[in-house]
Amino acid sequence: MVLHFLIRGRVQGVGFRWFVHREAAELSLRGWVRNTDTGEVEVLVAGDPTALADLRTELHKGSRGSRVDKVIEHELDESEAASLTAFKIEGAW
């Protein structure tokens, strides 16, 4: 299963990407997380449906210091997961 999330709220500059990375890695999910130019956080993730449901729950809760106002979710075709590797943070230095 492959999901794309767009998280809106106070999610940049509060460790949200690191939070998502930790949660996804613990769930053995593949994919990436990154900030957008418009202040949101974007996640592309693939894995077991149960693990994805657990990640979804955590995304709605957010990290300490963040405020999640909205989570937009889309299910993608399995082919979108072909190039995904171990979960990573994109755009982190």
- For residue 49, give the CATH number of its domain: 3.30.70.100
Point out the catalytic residue in the list 10, 35, 56, 64: 35
Q: Which residue range forms the structural domain that includes residue 67?
A: 2-79
Catalytic residue check, 17: yes
User: Does 91 reside within a domain?
Assistant: no
User: Does 85 reside within a domain?
Assistant: no
Q: Measured between alpha carbons, how far is 41 from 65 in angstroms, rounded to an integer?
A: 15
Q: In 3D, which of 72, 88, 83 has the Cα closest to residue 29? A: 88
Q: What is the pLDDT of residue 34?
A: 97
User: Does 90 reside within a domain?
Assistant: no
Q: What is the pLDDT of residue 91?
A: 82
User: Does 55 reside within a domain?
Assistant: yes
Catalytic residue check, 56: no
Which helix (H) or strand (E) covers residue 35, if one does?
strand 30-35
User: What is the tally of structural domains in the chain?
Assistant: 1
Point out the catalytic residue in the list 10, 17, 22, 34: 17
Local structure of 17: helix, strand or coil? helix
Q: What is the pLDDT of residue 40?
A: 97
Instruction: Give the tokens for residue 36.
Output: 């957008």
DSSP secondary structure letter of residue 52: H
pTM for the whole structure: 0.94
User: Does 87 reside within a domain?
Assistant: no
User: Does 31 reside within a domain?
Assistant: yes
User: Does 88 reside within a domain?
Assistant: no
Q: What is the pLDDT along the chain (93 residues), one digit of tens a residue?
A: 999 999 999 999 999 999 999 999 999 999 999 999 999 999 999 999 999 999 999 999 999 999 999 999 999 999 999 999 999 999 865
